[in-house]
Structure formats: structure tokens, C-alpha cells
Structure 1
Amino acid sequence: RWITPALIDCHTHIVFGGDRAAEFEQRLQGVSYQDIARAGGGILSTVRATRDATAEELFRAALPRVQALAREGVATIEIKSGYGLDLETEIRMLEVARRLGTETSMDVRTTLLAAHTVPPEYAGNADGYIDLICNELLPQVAERKLADAVDAYCESIAFSTAQIAKLFAAAIKLGLPVKLHADQLSDGGGAELAAEFKALSADHLEYTSRKGVRALAASKSVAVLLPGAFLTLGETHVPPVGELRANGVPIAVATDCNPGTSPICSLRTAMMLACRLFRLTPEESLAGATRIAAQALGLADDRGTLEVGKRADIAIWNISHPRELAYWTGTPQLAELLAGGQTSAP
């Protein structure tokens, strides 16, 4: 047997309404994402389903996903909002995420991702939507302590660097750290923007330039790799892992669990995919799902390693070497999980 820190999934969208299984089948048949979106599908279909769902329905749908991660040795997860895109639903999503943290053994960190995409009510007026977030949503979320961080999606199909800079300045003024979906589909300067605001993390990074990598290194931001989305979207442009390593940028791995681009509730699978698709070593993938994942959530002083004084999140495995955690897929090697010092038998 081996003992490791409990795993940490530092990037999920695990609270949402409905699913997108029909779109998955359509895409296998050759229908483009653009055609699906024009027909009313894509992320906005999840927005509609999430807006229509009650808090109880969202909780009951998310609970099995959280439990699945716990059975794999995960004791801490981050959960983002971002499928409401209005004041009421974004707050409801964060409240559900907080409830998942109080009614399960999982420690949940919440992130406001209202700047996920432009809602239909603000079509053609992204600036107006950013103003709504900054002036109305952020103050409510901060006052009620519903979020531990603020995130945004920096792409031409979502929000510009200037719009996100305005949002991040407002978040930091309220005492909330930031993180960023950056350079997933193109090099839009997302890594540099994340570095400018000393983001906890910059996530995806498939198209990040050398300049962006150097900026992340200088800011000490974590690079969070999301191989599940890379696989699901059929991407071929691999994140610059070699450059990240060479520049000393810490690399984390997460599931990106979401209904559209990464329907994966298995951090162990994400670890394996990071090795197979991005050429991480098994040791790097384990560090990326423990020590560095904690850093990506601003929790490095509290968890992610086995040290006196840190939170007692401990996983005990039926394995002969830690590399097996990224080698086996779909095989339950967890013998016992301690979450906050409390035993949780799988």
C-alpha cells in the first residue's frame, strides 16, 4: 500500500442542469459545434436547463458527480458557476455548490464564472453584461461570501482582455482572487492577462505563446491543464508543456467536468490523459492533482502535501507504486480516504 495526499480537482463545472449527450452523438455524426449552436444547442442549452432547474434539482444532479470523485480519493474540489448568466441563477449555482460542501465530506471551493459567455439578453452588448457583473453581481457575491475566486473566459467567442481586465480589477478590489480560462482556442493574450493580475491559475493554455509562458513564470500563476476538454473537442494543438517546465511554471491537472466539452467525473482519468496526450510523467500528474492543485486554489499552506499542521486529507491506495494512479483507468485502488481527518471508506 501507498499513502498520498488526497487528490484535489481544481477546475470543475459540476453544477448544471440537463446534459448534452444528444450533442455528443450529433458531433460523432459530423455536425459542427457551430451548427449545433445555431440550432439552439451548445452552452446556451445548458444555460436554459440550469435556469429552469430548482436549487434542489441542481443539488441532486451534482451530488453523484461529487460522490464519484470522492470514491477516487478526491477530498477537495473547485466548483464554478457560469451556466446561469443572470443574477438569480448565478447565485443559486454558488449556493448549491456551498451546500455540496456542507452536506458531503468534500471540501468545496466556489468560483464565480458569470463571465463564461454573453447571455442572450445581452447579445451584441458584452460590455453591458460585464457592467452588470461588476456593479450588481460581484458586490452581492462578495458580501454573502458565496465565492472564493472569480473566473472568466478569454476568447473571441466570449470576452476580450479589456473586458476581463475591468472585471478582474473589480473582483480584486472586493478582495477576491482571480483565475482565467486562457488561450484554449487561440492565443488571445490570456496567459499574459492572467499574469498581469497575478491570477491563482491560468487554465487550458493550448495556444499560449512563449511570451505568455514567461509571464506566468514571473507571476507564479499555476498552469492548469484540462486534457478532458482537449480530448472531447478533438484538439490537436497541445499546450506548451516543455516551455512550462523549462520556465518553472507549476502544472496542475483537473477534470474540467462539464456537460459540453469534458463530461468526465474522474480525476484519475484526467491524470492518465495528461500523461498520454500532454506527455506529463506520472509523477507530474500526481503532483498536479495534489500539491500544485492546492496552489491553484490558493490552498498550498493548508493541503496538498503530507505535513504536520496541514489539513488531514489522506488517501491510502492498494498499489505498489504511485505511477499506478495514472496507469490504471476505471480500477478502484482506493483503500481508504481521510477527508479533514474523518475516515471515508469507498
Structure 2
Amino acid sequence: MPDCYILSDARLAPFAPPDGDGYASDGVIVVDHGKIGFVGSAGDLPARFEDAPRRSVGGCLITPGLIDCHTHMVYGGSRAREFEMRQTGASYEEIMNAGGGIFSTVEATRAASDEELLASALLRLDAMIADGVTTVEIKSGYGLDQDTELRILRTARALEDHRPIRIKTTFLGAHAYPKGMSADDYLNEVCLPAMAAAAHEDLVDAVDGFCESVAFTASQIERVFVAAHDLNLPVKIHAEQLSDQGGAELAARYSALSADHLEHLGDAGIAAMAEAKTVAVLLPGAFYALKETQKPPIQKLRDAGVPLALATDCNPGSSPMTSLRLIMNMGATLFGLTPEECLNAVTTIGAQALGLDDCGRLEVGQRADLAVWKFDDPAELSYRIGDAPLEMRIFGGEIC
């Protein structure tokens, strides 16, 4: 395609024109040198773009490219056997305490070559791309030693060399700690030095930690946050998934980009997140796979004005999922989000959860990361299950 072209005959969402609630069929987007040069009604197209080549999308819906703001998609091995265990009644904690869970993935990831890690991650990434995703966050955390944590992050960075995708990396060394080693010793001897090494190698965009009864205490995660602050890295947290450990409040004190999971989030955590403008990243895939029954406090989060994002939590143990559109459906059916909330959750708010302000909105100056869908009603994105309605995916202005 030329450097400047027009996508015409489109429905645009999420988009709020000054005098209406969207365009049924006459919306246009100008893609100008990789960015959005104009978005709105065809009748309002600036004269300077009149002669640009046009490509009709035939009434299709155009949205920002979808953003998956929480994944663990670089790992080795499979945990299908654990799925069998869960079907016979074993809990997440029981599997971990028996030496399964994350530790089996750590072993498989350490044993995998760089080429194997890349190849398996590309398979998952290709499924996401086919779902209209243009930005993916990827966490480390399946190494629990410095070498493997860095290899995971290098593999994540390398994905951009193989696919038209934007990758944001997160250091999650504080995911668990190895057997035979205390949590504090692990932080001192492995996690914090590995974080510094990752930052020195420019492999990390943010730092995360798992604050939970089966992982790290709030005071231990605070040590991670202090170290991240010293490295000028923003933080986020896995919090209140299985119990309320005060993780969300801690994250808010450090102006965290997001607090994720949140099924057991209490009122104090909600208030702290609202004040800090920390995004709540909801992960219904893990809720579903683990057969949880306590839902995040959605209405309280709404009432407090906490932004709501959705993500796949793509990982081998608790959310072996690559479809962000299925997550949108789950966000609606399991958590009660509206279709409009679901779309915002994987575009505008998904970008906010990653600290990005140049994508996720149909606005002039934004990156031209776009998804064109074979329907004109935005509710279809949350309504449909299992089909492939993507007509076209545009990344940085390039149709791919």
C-alpha cells in the first residue's frame, strides 16, 4: 500500500464523533505514514487527502488493533496432565504444593532451547494475530534462575523480528521461588540480580510480582517494587486471585500500571486503585479454567471509576488460551461486562494497562494499528464464539 491511503465505507468503533454515536456506513480512516491522519465521516474528509487512493471495506467494522495486556506465552512443555488432575478434584494450591504447577513448566522451560521457545511462542502468537491482536505483553517467570529469565525475555523481544506485532515485556521473576530456597533468599540471590541484568540489557518494559499465599507476601513484593523504582521501571501486580493479601493497595502506593486477577479484592484495594488510576486487568480465562466461583467486584470497580481491561493470561497452567475475542465473550458472560466495556477493555484500557498512549484509540496521531471485521455491529465481537470474522489486520499502516 502507498504511504497514505483511505479506508472508506466503514463503521468505526470505539469512536465518539461530536454529533452522534458512530457512523453506520460512511466512516473513513486516513492512514498516513503509519499513523491515523483523519478519522470521521466521509463528508468531513480534509481536502488535502482527497486524492489519496481509497480502499472500500464494504461496510465492515474498523476498531483499533486488539491489545492483550497480560500473557505468559513464552514457555516450554505442556500441563495437560494437570488439567486431568483438576478434573478429579485437585485444587490449584494442591497441585503446586505437590510439586506440579509452575515448577513443571520451569523445568520444561529450562530444558528448552532458544529455538524451541521461539517456535512454540510463534504458534501461540499466530493465533493471536489471527484474532486481530496488534500488541501483546509477555512476562518472564518460568525460569526462576537468571539465565532462563533472560532467555524468556530475549525470546519475547525476538518475536517482533518474525511477525508484524508489538511486544511489551515484563519481568516476573517474583512468580514463585524454587524448592529448597526461601522466598527472601531467592529474591536476594536470583530475582533482584536478574531484574537488574534484564534492565541493563534493555529486555524489560515493566516489573510484575505474584502477591499471594502460595507465592510472595506484600512486604516481599514491595522489595521488588523498590528495586524496580530504582531502575526507573513501572510496576504491576498479580493480586487477590486466591485471597486478599493487600497486593492491590501495595501496587497503588507505587502507582502501578495495573493490578490483575482481583477476584478477592476488597474495598480498601478498590479505593486505592481508584485514587492511583491503576487499571484492573480481569482474567476470566483463569477464572474459568480453575473453576473459581468468586468473581471480581465488577460493580464496585465501576462505581469507583477504576478502568477495566481484559486479557488472555495465556499460560500453560491456568489459562491455556490465545483468543482475546473469546476472553471478550467470557468478560461479558462470566463477569457481566457490556459489549462496549469489553471492546474498550482490549483496546483503550488495554493500552493504558501497558502505559501506552499511542495506540488503542481511533484518533488522529495514533498508530495505524487497526482491525477490520466482517460485520458492522461492535457487539458481534463479544457475541460470537469460535468463528474467524477478521477481514483485515493493519499494523503500523501496513496491511498484513
Aligned length: 341
Aligned residues of 1:78 and 1:109 also touching (Cα < 8 A): yes
Match of 2:374?
Answer: 318
The one-letter code matched in structure 1 to 2:179 is P
The secondary structure found in structure 2 opposite 1:278 is coil
* Structure 1 length-normalised TM: 0.96
* Unaligned residue ranges in structure 1 (runs of 5+): none
- Supply the distance in 2 between the matched residues of 1:187 and 1:38 (Cα, whole angstroms): 20
The secondary structure found in structure 2 opposite 1:120 is coil
Q: CA deviation at 1:34?
A: 4.6
The secondary structure found in structure 1 opposite 2:207 is strand
Match of 1:161?
Answer: 218
Aligned residue runs from structure 1 range 1-346, under 5 A = 1-122=60-181, 125-133=182-190, 135-299=192-356, 301-344=357-400
Aligned residues of 2:174 and 2:191 also touching (Cα < 8 A): no
* Unaligned residue ranges in structure 2 (runs of 5+): 1-59
- Supply the distance in 2 between the matched residues of 1:5 and 1:220 (Cα, whole angstroms): 22
- Supply the distance in 1 between the matched residues of 2:344 and 2:97 (Cα, whole angstroms): 41
The secondary structure found in structure 2 opposite 1:152 is strand
- Supply the distance in 1 between the matched residues of 2:342 and 2:237 (Cα, whole angstroms): 21
Q: Deviations over 1:235-288 (max 9, x none)?
A: 011101101100100000000000000011100011100111110001000000
Structure with the larger strand share: 2
Root mean square deviation, CA, Å: 1.1
Aligned residues of 1:6 and 1:315 also touching (Cα < 8 A): yes
The one-letter code matched in structure 2 to 1:326 is S
The secondary structure found in structure 1 opposite 2:104 is helix
- Supply the distance in 1 between the matched residues of 2:268 and 2:97 (Cα, whole angstroms): 35
CA separation of 1:37 and 1:163: change in aligned 2, threshold 3 A: closer
Q: Which has the larger radius of gyration?
A: 2
Aligned residues of 1:134 and 1:170 also touching (Cα < 8 A): no
Structure with the larger helix share: 1
Aligned residues of 2:61 and 2:373 also touching (Cα < 8 A): yes
* Structure 2 length-normalised TM: 0.84
- Supply the distance in 2 between the matched residues of 1:54 and 1:148 (Cα, whole angstroms): 24
The one-letter code matched in structure 1 to 2:160 is G
- Supply the distance in 2 between the matched residues of 1:180 and 1:96 (Cα, whole angstroms): 22
Identity %: 55
